Chains A and B, each alone.
Chain A
């Protein structure tokens, strides 16, 4: 059979795997919903949670579609579709693919069409490299979460603070990341304007201000529904603000 990176068989195989992963998500959703009813949790709140999660996901998911398009130019559509639906991210997959191809003495983006062997090699390197979490969670997940439960039973207040500390730690790292090009102001980088490092900072500030405004608005009873959409609204408006901010500062 003549191989091509967009062969219908590849679409079928990738499509099947994507459906399995979709089935897993549906399975866990149904399971958790059933449990929420057993626990007597407020079902209107649960429906709101689903709505918020779905709306919040749209913009990040579209950015994943853009990554699929980017990678599809050298790898065809089925492989990036599979890799970014299961575990992957653009930066990981691009590096893995580049390493796989360069080990064969070639350069990604300079090959007109991949052979079946090159394709298999790329797919194997991507898959094996990225797969740790999938099997490690079954191996150590129960122990890790058991540790949290023990902590909770020993000192519930400290367990709550511990949990918050992890969240704050994660968010702090990303807040720091927003400032990673700030030093361009005094240490010029070729190809970038001095103020270009301020773009992410300004976008973050816009998004944060919108969040504060929404927080104030939703105190009014008529506008309390805003609370469910505060994060998606600040995300999308922040992203939109990036368009004029980038034009202005770069």
Chain B
């Protein structure tokens, strides 16, 4: 029986076990700290703090899951939603790998390639953060040097400039409408900024799919 289970099914099975385990361990962290240091949470303040934070984060979390899972593939999704930094690191990394290998995201080869790229990226990220934590004393003055600050402040524009050329040039007919719409919205709506770009991703994705459907029906794509 066990041998008949497909690769994708085994990814879902293993991913579920890993993710639920990590979730329980994550919750155990504050509770263990509370136990060891004999400090029960301040429940009233906890409820208030959660009320101010959780509803918004949960709504964003649900939308992000629905938006990103079809792009990340199965293995990539389980990993990305544990290790985080999806739109600024894991997804661009997977997209670049699919592009580099010329495979479609929905094929099994695509699934394998995006998992390999995202797993590699997660490992490198985790290791670099470990090195950073160990070497924090000598590293802090270097990484916080004022001369480097603009470079890290402009990481997203530098990332999406390169990624944009690669993808927009290959799908320019499809890209015209969403790029123009997003430019107009971000330039003229003051509320749209670094903090709200996450909310605009699903809006833009839905709009682009609708445009794609129309162009496909008309035989343009």
Contacts and interface: CB of A to CB of B under 8 A. Distances in A.
Nearest to B8: A145
Given A137-B65, A158-B216, A170 B201 contact: yes
27 contacts: A17-B29, A25-B79, A25-B83, A29-B120, A53-B118, A54-B120, A56-B92, A65-B132, A65-B139, A81-B133, A82-B29, A84-B84, A123-B29, A129-B58, A138-B78, A166-B71, A167-B71, A167-B95, A170-B91, A171-B160, A176-B186, A179-B183, A200-B156, A204-B158, A205-B161, A207-B160, A211-B165
A124 B25 CA distance: 12
B157 A204 contact: yes
B205 A166 contact: yes
Interface in A77-133: 77, 81-82, 84-89, 91-92, 95-96, 99-105, 115-121, 123-125, 127-133
A53 B116 contact: yes
B65 A136 contact: yes
Nearest to B61: A132
A27 B21 CA distance: 14
A177 B187 CA distance: 8
- Residues of B in contact with A, size category: 35 or more
Contact of A172 (B29, B45, B204): B204
Interface string B49-73: 1101110011001101111011101
- Residues of A in contact with B, size category: 35 or more
B104 to A, nearest CB: 6
Contacts, number: 546
Contacts of B88: 60, 89
Given A81-B129, A183-B188, A27 B157 contact: no
Q: List 6 A-B pairs, minimum CB-CB distance, nearest first.
A: A132-B61, A238-B158, A176-B182, A207-B161, A234-B162, A133-B81
A26 B18 CA distance: 12
A9 B34 CA distance: 12
A222 to B, nearest CB: 19
B69 A175 contact: no
A119 to B, nearest CB: 7
Contact of A168 (B148, B203, B208): B208
Contacts of B108: 35, 39
